[in-house]
Amino acid sequence: MTEERLQKVIAEAGIASRRAAEKLITAGRVKVDGHVVTKLGIKVTTFSNITVDDEPIERESLHTYLFYKPRGIISSAKDDKKRKTVTDYFSALPYRLYPIGRLDYDTSGALLMTNDGELANLLMHPKNEVAKVYVAKIKGHLAPDEIHQLATCVTFDGFHSRPARVKIIRSDPKKKIQIVQLIIHEGHYHQVKRMFETVGHDVEKLAREQYAFLTLEGLISGEWRELSHEEVEKLKRL
């Protein structure tokens, strides 16, 4: 039976942030199985009866999905312009999901959707270098010095990229384009496009083919699958 810290369970129920949940506990406003708890670090199970100010909390089961995001879809819960968002694909499910990070409107590929706040925070934290594999169709051909720059550090808008792995998949001299694989570990806004633009090449098409160890094998654009418990735990260990 899985045990979790009380403040984490309260935070995941949407009652308060983790820090605010700790204050609720130390103030004596939380009960577990009818008993007031004021000590931090107490662990509870799925079957524990938890109340805040004598109101029972609703504990939502946690789910994480690998989604093959199509191009032309917004990576957010809602859009002011009424455009279709990634959450629209999951509207039939009985719980709300949110994207972990973002993919640009015109970028397709692997995107994680979850209601697991702890997992989302772990994966998006800058110190946790989660590998992301992109394939880009760029104008022109990368020169050796440009490949070296991408592989070491590219600077734009005050941002300094970490070392990336670069692999030329295919070159087309007649059309003057290249298909390039780029593996990065950050999630800066428009990062891949800006990296290529900085070394002198516009991106015509971009897809994220892999997130950490998760690939899109077996999925087509617009499809998703739920991650297994083992896959989620492996992501947390990253």
**Token pair for 162:** 């970490």
Cα radius of gyration rounded to whole Å, the chain: 22
Distance CA 169, CA 14 (A): 45
- For residue 235, the surrounding DSSP H or E stretch is helix 229-237
Extended strands (E) in 49-190: 50-52, 55-56, 64-69, 98-99, 107-114, 132-139, 155-156, 159-160, 165-172, 177-184
Distance CA 152, CA 88 (A): 38
What are the C-alpha distances in Å from 102 to residues 48, 108, 150?
Answer: 35, 11, 22
Structure-token match 């609703």, residue found = 58
Of 78, 116, 89, nearest to 220 by C-alpha is 89
For residue 54, indicate whether it is catalytic. no
- The catalytic residue among 53, 54, 104, 202 is 104
The residue type found at 218 is G
Q: For the chain, give the number of residues.
A: 238
Active site residues: 104
